[in-house]
Structure 1
Amino acid sequence: MKKLVQRLGWPGTIALAVVVLFFAVAILAPWIAPYPAQGAGAPNVAAKLSPPSADYWLGTDHLGRDILSRIIYATRISLTNGVLIVAFSLLIGLPVGLAAGYFGGWIDEALMRGTDVFLAFPALLLAVLMAAALGPGFLNSVIAVAVTWWPWYARLARAEVLVLRGQPYVEAARLAGVSHPRIIIRHILPATGRPLTVQAALDVGPALLTAAALSFLGLGVLPPTADWGQMVDAGRKFFPARWWYSAMPGMTIFIIALAFSVLGDALRDRKGGAARGSA
């Protein structure tokens, strides 16, 4: 614990604990939700729009479902959404950036002009347009956001490769006749891992927010599956009289997004400190 605090600092350590807690909640949702059936979507109209109480700690929604149980079940969807968005973005952007930075020339020019096309549009607007074209749904929302995010990973990977490709060990491998794919995979790719990991940690929070925004607009996960953004949208019709309906999932989004942001900042600061120490 002491070593972890030394590496990440107290804010980063607390943020990591919050992130781990959320993942634990997602895994254990069926066992820790007060009303698992309601968390999965079963209605309970007799208790609809009940305020927070001993029976329903965070109140109920318009179908009488326990909001705490819904938030717990939505954690599975929302975290998976954010992680998959970042993973898909890396799968697209990393190879593009590696190829552009390593080979240079017309390959670099063509690939970077392609990324510029995507960067020319506001990311959220492009995600909304893509989601509208693909239709609502979990996988479609992931694809829609990932398509708008991969250029940033491509540019970051390219910037790292431009520095690494001139290193003596890379030049030695090239002179020894090692193939280009092997040089990229064995010598360049591992060295790009830390900055990309930091950026990925920073991006999970915004990815969650973007996915929640799509659900809020009706372009994400469909009912009765629980989703934080969808819950905020549904509760908006009853706000402010039934404030808990929107406020509770909204607060959940804020907490997890903040935790990922603080954790990413801690990882970035640690990287900077390591770089200064080795200089």
Structure 2
Amino acid sequence: MRAVISRLGWAGTLSLLLILLMLLAALLAPWVSLFPDQGVGAPNIATKFLHPSVEHLLGTDHLGRDMVSRLIYGARVSLMSGLLIVGFALLIGLPVGLLAGYFGGWLDEGLMRLTDIFMAFPALLLAVLLAAAMGPGLLNSIVAVAVTWWPWYARMARAEVLSVRGQPYVEAAQLMGVGHGRIILRHILPTALRPLSVQAALDVGPALLTASALSFLGLGVLPPTADWGQMVDAGRKFFPERWWYSAAPGVAIFVLALAFSILGDSLRSKEGGRRNESA
């Protein structure tokens, strides 16, 4: 624990613990939820719109479902969305940046112009258009957002490759006849992954927010699956009389996105310090 605190600081460590706690709750949702059947969407009309109480800490929704159980099950979708969006964006952007930076020439020019085309569109607007074209659903919303995010990783990866490509150990490997694929994977990729992993940690929060925005617009997960953005949208119809309906998932989105941002910022500060020491 002391090693983690020394690396991330108190704020980063607390953020990491909060993220791990939410992840653990999401994975163990059937066992930690007091009303697991309501968490997956089973209605109980007899208890609809109950105020927060000892039995229902955050009240119930318009179908009588316990809000805490819905939030725990909704954490599964939100965490999955944020992590998969960043993961898919890295899977697209990282190879593009590596190939463009390493080989240069016409390949670099063509890949970067393709990247510029995607970057010319507002990311959220393009994600909404793609999600609307593909239809609502978790996978469609994840793909729609990831398609708009990969250009940033491609640019970052290319910049890292350009800074490493001329290093003596890379030139020595080329002179020894080592294949391009092996040079990229063994000598260039590890260097490029460090700053990209830090940026990825910073991006999970905004990715989660964007996915929640699509769900709020009806372009994400379909009912009765629990989703925080969808819950905010459903609760706004009854606000402010039933304030807990929208407030609970809204606060959950804010806290989780903030935790990822603080964690990413702590990692970025550590990475910046490491680079300054090496320089």
Question: Normalized against structure 2, the TM-score is what?
Answer: 0.99
Give the drift of 1:6.
1.1
Give the drift of 1:191.
1.1
**Aligned residue type for 2:62:** H
Instruction: Give distance in 2, aligned partners of 1:235 and 1:9.
Output: 37
Asked if residue 236 in structure 1 is aligned to residue 236 in structure 2, the reply is yes
- Which residue matches 2:210? 210
Asked if residue 185 in structure 1 is aligned to residue 185 in structure 2, the reply is yes
- Which residue matches 2:151? 151
- Which residue matches 1:255? 255
Report Cα offsets for 1:31-54 as digits up to 9, x if no partner: 001100000100000011111011
Instruction: Give distance in 2, aligned partners of 1:172 and 1:278.
Output: 21
Report Cα offsets for 1:136-174 as digits up to 9, x if no partner: 001000100000000000000000000010010100011
- Which residue matches 2:66? 66
Report Cα offsets for 1:238-264 as digits up to 9, x if no partner: 001100000000000000000000000
Structure 1 window deviating more from structure 2 (94-103 vs 2-11): it is 2-11
Q: How does 1:131-142 map to 2 (within 5 A)?
A: 131-142=131-142
Give the drift of 1:94.
0.5
Give the drift of 1:187.
0.8
Asked if residue 89 in structure 1 is aligned to residue 86 in structure 2, the reply is no
**Residue aligned with 2:240, SS:** coil
Instruction: Give distance in 1, aligned partners of 2:188 and 2:194.
Output: 12
**Residue aligned with 1:60, SS:** coil
Asked if residue 25 in structure 1 is aligned to residue 25 in structure 2, the reply is yes
- Which residue matches 2:98? 98
Q: What is the Cα-based RMSD across aligned positions, in Å? A: 0.6
Q: Percent identity?
A: 71
Give the drift of 1:275.
1.1
**Residue aligned with 2:226, SS:** coil
- Which residue matches 1:224? 224
Give the drift of 1:21.
0.7
Instruction: Give distance in 2, aligned partners of 1:91 and 1:197.
Output: 12
**Aligned residue type for 2:68:** L
Give the drift of 1:5.
1.1
Give the drift of 1:132.
0.2
Report Cα offsets for 1:114-148 as digits up to 9, x if no partner: 01001001100000000000000010001000000
Question: Normalized against structure 1, the TM-score is what?
Answer: 0.99
Instruction: Give distance in 2, aligned partners of 1:129 and 1:48.
Output: 35
- Which residue matches 2:40? 40
**Aligned residue type for 2:116:** D
**Aligned residue type for 1:159:** A
**Aligned residue type for 2:104:** G
- Which residue matches 1:130? 130
**Aligned residue type for 1:226:** A
**Residue aligned with 1:189, SS:** helix
**Aligned residue type for 2:108:** D
Instruction: Give distance in 2, aligned partners of 1:2 and 1:180.
Output: 41
**Aligned residue type for 2:12:** G
- Which residue matches 1:160? 160
- Which residue matches 2:196? 196
Between Structure 1 and Structure 2, how many residues are aligned?
279
Instruction: Give distance in 2, aligned partners of 1:273 and 1:16.
Output: 20
Q: How does 1:110-125 map to 2 (within 5 A)?
A: 110-125=110-125
- Which residue matches 1:270? 270
Instruction: Give distance in 1, aligned partners of 2:160 and 2:19.
Output: 28
Instruction: Give distance in 1, aligned partners of 2:137 and 2:276.
Output: 45
